[in-house]
Structure 1
Amino acid sequence: MAVDESLLESAVSDQVCSLRWYRWDQATISLGYFQQNDGDAQQGPWEGLPRVRRLSGGGAILHHHELTYSFTVPANHPLAKSPPELYVAIHQPLIDVLAAHGLNVEFRGVSFRSASEPFLCFGRGDERDLVYQGQKILGSAQRRRRGAIVQHGSLLLLTSEYAPDFPGLLNLVEQASRYSEEFLNSLTTDFSQAISTALKLPLQSGNLTDEESLRARTLEKEKYSQDSWTSRKKQV
């Protein structure tokens, strides 16, 4: 989370786009920026799991058997002018890559809301969610800072025992065994290339700059590792 905020700051100050894919080494809850960390947050199979608060909004994500991405876009990029279009711009290349592997994922197309939003993001519905056989397998959320945007998303691959109501993409596929770990590892490369092509952005892999690394370490120490950040009940 600290790295993603550091990359957002680079979008603000240096007008650069960044795409990052990662997985989590243990089941972890990431709270949406505006979510309260009480009540439903403490009840359910996920009780007691490590948790962190994201910079982006939306419902909590259970990061377990999934792929997480962050994409940052500066204020001077055309997509920063229309945040809803940014969801589509990132999600459509993912649809195309999965279709090439015989996985016909599509946009939900309609939104639904309830009087009390479920704690977990995958219990909520937005028209730009990606679904497979009617089940949500990818959702995203955003945060704007001085015109720049960070967009987070989670591609659910397999059901977690901590959220058994939400099947992952590979739980819904016949002969799922043909989608090997090698296939999963190649997805991030394929996704990155497809997004780069769709957005007409040069694809350059690399590490954080020294400035980004230092900023991320500072944010981790002073913000994201602090109980006051993760556990606060009211967001401002």
Structure 2
Amino acid sequence: MAVDEALLESAAENELCSLRWYRWDQPTISLGYFQKNETEEQNQTWKGLPRVRRLSGGGAILHHHELTYSFAIPASHPLSQFPPDLYLTIHQPVIDILATHDLQVAFRGVSFKAESEPFLCFGRGDERDLVYQGNKILGSAQRRRRGAIVQHGSLLLLTSEYAPHFPGLLNQYEQISLYQSQFLSRLAEEFSQAIAQAIQLPLESQKLTDEEFEQARQLEKEKYSRESWTSRKT
């Protein structure tokens, strides 16, 4: 989370565009920026899982068998003027690449709201969500800062035992082996190439700059690792 905020700052200050794919080393709940940290009584299944708070909005995400991405874009890029279009611009290449692997994913097309908004993001429905066989497998949320935007998203790959009611993209028996292989690394690379083409910017693979690394480390220490940040009431 600290790295993603550092990349948003790079977009705002240095007009740098970045795309990052990553996975989590243990099941973790990330809370949306504006979301209340619900009590454990809400679902005992999640008791004891670590929690962090994202900079972007939306519902909580259970990061387990999934791929997370963050995309930061400066105010100078035309797409920053139309934030809703950014969801479509990032999600469409994901649809296209998955189709080449015989995974037919589509936009939901309609939004829905329950009387009581579900705690987890994958229980919510937005027209720009991606669905597979009627189930949500990718949702995204944004945060704007000085005209720059960071967009977070999660691609659900397999059902987690902590949220058994959300089917994953690779749940079918013949596809589970893909999760264990180099498929995910190749998939992230293919997504990156397609997204770079969609936003009309060249793709360059590189590490964090020294400035970004130092800023992320400071943010981790002073913000994201503090209980006051994760558990704050909004």
- Give the shorter-chain TM-score range: over 0.9
CA distance in 2, matches of 1:190, 1:83: 24
CA RMSD, Structure 1 to Structure 2 (Å): 1.3
> What is the match of residue 161 of structure 1?
161
> What is the match of residue 3 of structure 1?
3
Gaps of 5+ in 2: none
User: Secondary structure in 2 aligned to 1:175?
Assistant: helix
Answering whether residue 131 of structure 2 is matched by residue 123 of structure 1, we say no
User: Secondary structure in 1 aligned to 2:205?
Assistant: coil
Asked if the contact 1:142/1:150 (under 8 Å) is kept, the reply is yes
**1:164/1:178 CA distance change after superposition, 3 Å:** closer
CA distance in 2, matches of 1:96, 1:208: 28
**1:41/1:157 CA distance change after superposition, 3 Å:** farther
Detail structure 1 runs of 4+ shifted over 2 Å in the superposition.
Answer: 38-44, 177-180
- Pairs within 5 Å for 1:191-206: 191-206=191-206
- The percentage of counterpart residues that share the same residue type is 72
C-alpha deviation, 1:233, in angstroms: 1.2
Instruction: Give the counterpart letter for 1:210 in structure 2.
Output: D
> What is the match of residue 58 of structure 2?
58
C-alpha deviation, 1:40, in angstroms: 6.7
C-alpha deviation, 1:177, in angstroms: 4.3
Instruction: Give the counterpart letter for 1:214 in structure 2.
Output: E
> What is the match of residue 147 of structure 1?
147
CA distance in 2, matches of 1:65, 1:44: 20
C-alpha deviation, 1:43, in angstroms: 2.6
User: Secondary structure in 1 aligned to 2:68?
Assistant: strand
Asked if the contact 1:224/1:230 (under 8 Å) is kept, the reply is yes
CA distance in 1, matches of 2:219, 2:175: 40
CA distance in 2, matches of 1:141, 1:219: 21
Please give the TM-score of this superposition, normalised by the length of structure 1: 0.96
- CA-to-partner distance for each residue in 1:73-125, whole Å, 9 max, x for gaps? 11111111111100000000000000001000000000001221100000000
CA distance in 2, matches of 1:38, 1:233: 9
CA distance in 1, matches of 2:55, 2:116: 22
Please give the TM-score of this superposition, normalised by the length of structure 2: 0.96
